[in-house]
């Protein structure tokens, strides 16, 4: 483990150890937050009971679909806007102001179009996450050093070879940043949508536990969602580091 990894681990241990001590000694009321160890215990019990298997399956499948659509669609649209400057100049103001829009306000319209069920939430999460990938793609392609493009032209690489061997590797750091944001925003879009608008899914169960003051169940489910989202991002980070090592970075 790197030095930064050790520091990160020690900070997390210190933080959760402090919260654990404050909760166990009663400094922090259990009505406000339960001890981290109790959260883990609750999460394990909830998963072992199988009570929320259908909700987990629904939420994770919705997140997976939204994630895939936002990553692939965002990358494709980002490339189209990059290669068509007039079109990009048209959409730039809308992209800049996009996250100021209240996305959940479109949920009733999405229900009219797609009906009840998971589809409106998937569309909502995709729209929320896709623009992050579009912006990251544009940022990565914009920041490719011109010397690399000139070198590719001097070597007479075809356009496909230039994209595959020059442009994509040079833009990779920004692309991975967009990918991580798309993963996070997909989780936020689906979970928040279920929390406010749905009658099933993990978000709905967290909201139901909150409304009934069931802190044990609420924090257990929240911890599970955090573990899943963090695991996805750690996998992306590990793959990004592996590619960087292969390139000698």
Residue 232, token pair as written in the block: 């996805």
Residue 21 has a pLDDT of 92
Residue 248 has a pLDDT of 59
H runs (alpha helix) in the chain: 3-24, 36-49, 53-83, 85-96, 107-114, 119-142, 146-154, 159-162, 168-197, 202-211, 215-246
Instruction: Give the CA distances from residue 118 to residues 107, 231, 242, in Å, rounded to whole numbers and listed in that order.
Output: 12, 23, 35
Task: Identify which of 172, 197, 52 has the alpha carbon closest to the alpha carbon of residue 122.
Answer: 197
d(CA 150, CA 157): 10
> Most distant CA pair in the chain: distance in Å?
71
Residue 102 has a pLDDT of 75
Please check whether residue 41 is in contact with residue 101, taking contact to mean a CB–CB distance below 8 angstroms.
Answer: no
Residue 166 is classified by DSSP as I
Q: Is 190 exposed, middle or buried (0-12, 13-18, 19+ CB in 10 A)?
A: buried
Q: Which helix (H) or strand (E) holds 105?
A: none
- Residue extents of the structural domains in the chain: 38-246
CATH number of 38-246: 1.10.3720.10
d(CA 194, CA 201): 6
Considering the entire predicted model, what is its pTM? 0.83
Please check whether residue 57 is in contact with residue 201, taking contact to mean a CB–CB distance below 8 angstroms.
Answer: no
Mean pLDDT by 10 residues, the chain (249 residues): 74 89 88 89 91 90 93 93 91 85 74 78 89 92 84 78 82 88 90 81 90 90 90 83 70
φ/ψ of 61, rounded to 5, equals: -70, -40
């Amino acid at each position: 483990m790197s030095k930064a990894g050790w520091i990160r681990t020690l900070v997390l241990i210190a933080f959760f150890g402090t919260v654990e001590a404050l909760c166990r000694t009663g400094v922090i009321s259990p009505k406000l937050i339960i001890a981290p160890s109790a959260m883990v215990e609750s999460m394990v019990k909830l998963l072992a009971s199988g009570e929320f298997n259908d909700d987990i399956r629904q939420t994770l499948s919705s997140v997976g679909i939204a994630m895939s659509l936002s990553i692939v669609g965002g990358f494709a649209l980002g490339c189209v806007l990059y290669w068509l400057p007039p079109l990009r100049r048209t959409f730039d103001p809308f992209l800049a102001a996009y996250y100021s829009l209240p996305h959940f306000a479109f949920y009733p319209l999405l229900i009219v179009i797609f009906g009840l069920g998971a589809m409106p939430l998937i569309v909502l999460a995709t729209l929320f996450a896709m623009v992050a990938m579009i912006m990251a793609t544009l940022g990565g392609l914009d920041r490719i050093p011109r010397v690399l493009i000139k070198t590719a032209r001097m070597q007479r690489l075809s356009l496909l070879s230039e994209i595959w061997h020059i442009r994509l590797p040079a833009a990779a750091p920004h692309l991975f940043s967009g990918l991580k944001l798309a993963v996070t925003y997909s989780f936020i879009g689906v979970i928040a949508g279920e929390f406010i608008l749905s009658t099933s899914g993990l978000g709905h169960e967290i909201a139901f536990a909150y409304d009934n003051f069931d802190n044990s169940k609420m924090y257990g489910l929240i911890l599970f969602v955090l573990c899943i989202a963090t695991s996805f991002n750690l996998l992306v980070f590990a793959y990004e580091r592996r590619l960087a090592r292969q390139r000698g970075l």
